[in-house]
Amino acid sequence: MKRRQLAAIATLLPGAALAQGAEPRRIRVALLPDENASTLIQNAQPLKNYLEQRLGRSVEIIVTTDYSSMIEAMRFGRIEVAYFGPFSYVLAKTRAPAIEAFAVGVERGAPTYQSIIIAGAGGPVQALEDIRGKAMGFGDQASTSSHLVPRAVLLQRAGLRGGADYRVVHLGAHDAVARAVQSGQVAAGALSEAIFRTLITRQVIDPARVVEVALSAPIPNYPMTMQGSLAEPLKAAIRAAFLELREPDVLRSFRVEGFAAASDRDYDILRETARLLELDLGSMRG
């Protein structure tokens, strides 16, 4: 009896639940807002169904308004699982050190993807050097392939620094960048090469109206992350659900062939890229 009473009292003590690990009945899964939110949620319904079956609990798919709000939601425990972009993960890890990267998307046999810089066909930009003095379109400030990496490409390959040598224009989502280039709103723009190809397939972008200017080196792919405070059995179940994922409809929504194990150190190269660009991760609006 005394043992049971002590156990009951322990559950009321501060930190007791944290020590045991959180066991929420509803798992909130956030997807990076790199395309239209309604499209992302619609495409993620197979993911919701799959995870509910694997985890035995309800799942809610969330798409935040921007990268910053997604990082803050993870930081304050308003979501349990998040599919971050590589750089937004680095920013989130800076603000919420307890979050854990546990899986990475695999495309064409590798856990990497690329950034593409495009320009309007027949326009003033045919090479990276032509971007000097012009408007360059980027996505969210915390985007990897639509901001961090292409800025590094412009600096390393053409000696062009944002703000000094060309005008930086942030347009939000990747598809907004592609549309802005196609319409001539900006002379050139950068986005995920995989998303760019998808936009062409969906006929959102006319390949005759844009040209490829440059392609980046391979970038560590999007990491799947979770709250470090979750109970270990639940964390193991979430990890297994993604690493064992074989459902074509679910994988298609992530634009990957599958998931491989990942860890925080896989993203050190992006921290080095941020240092190259003299970005202060602690003060950046992610």
Number of domains in the chain: 2
- Does residue 82 belong to any structural domain of this protein? yes
Sequence-ordered list of residues with C-beta below 8 angstroms from that of 82, at least 6 positions apart, any chain:
29, 30, 31, 32, 70, 73, 74, 92, 99, 224, 225, 226
Q: What is the reported pTM?
A: 0.80
State phi, psi for 119 to the nearest 5 degrees: -145, 165
Single out the residue of 226, 262, 284 nearest to residue 95, CA to CA: 284
* C-alpha to C-alpha distance for 44 and 271, rounded to whole angstroms: 30
* C-alpha to C-alpha distance for 144 and 108, rounded to whole angstroms: 19
Residue 43's beta-bridge partner residues?
none
Q: In terms of domains, do 179 and 224 share one?
A: no
CA neighbours closer than 13 Å in the CB half-sphere of residue 168: 16
Per-residue pLDDT of the chain (286 residues; tens, 9 = 90+): 444 444 444 444 444 334 467 899 999 999 988 888 888 999 999 999 999 999 999 999 999 999 999 999 999 999 999 999 999 999 999 999 999 999 999 998 999 999 999 999 999 999 999 999 999 999 999 999 999 999 999 999 999 999 999 999 999 999 999 999 999 999 999 999 999 999 999 999 999 999 999 999 999 999 999 999 999 999 999 999 999 999 999 999 898 999 999 999 999 999 999 999 988 776 665 4
* C-alpha to C-alpha distance for 153 and 165, rounded to whole angstroms: 14
228 is in which domain, residue-wise?
Answer: 24-108+220-276
Q: In terms of domains, do 211 and 224 share one?
A: no
State phi, psi for 31 to the nearest 5 degrees: -110, 140
CATH number at residue 209: 3.40.190.10
Q: In terms of domains, do 166 and 154 share one?
A: yes
Element at 202 (helix H, strand E) = none
